[in-house]
Amino acid sequence: MEKTIWHMGLHEVLEISSNTRNAVHEHVSVRRVSGGWIYSNFYTNTENGQIHETSVFVPYSVNLKGPSAKITSSVI
């Protein structure tokens, strides 16, 4: 079965994307927590090693679930 945010166990993490552009490596992941998910973006400057992180909590809502809400990726 394809892994989606709707089939994650508590504290499980999905890697959404990872890419490098203009000397900045971006890594996006989703962690399942009680009541929703935490989306985290990690940015690493490949020239000087500086790291920046942003995170946001997205609460669970039955209104979110549907064909357009499908997010898939590999489990890390």
How many CA atoms does the CB half-sphere of 58 hold within 13 Å? 17
Q: How confident is the model at residue 74 (pLDDT cuts 50, 70, 90)?
A: very low
Give all strands (DSSP E) within 1-76, no chain letters: 13-21, 24-33, 36-45, 51-59, 74-75
**pLDDT at 76 > cutoff 50:** no
- What does pTM read for this prediction? 0.73
Whole-number pLDDT of residue 54: 96
Residue-range domain boundaries for the chain: 5-75
pLDDT tens, position by position, 13-67: 999 888 888 889 999 999 999 999 999 999 999 899 899 999 999 999 888 766 5
Query: Can you tell me which residue has the tokens 């985290």?
Result: 40
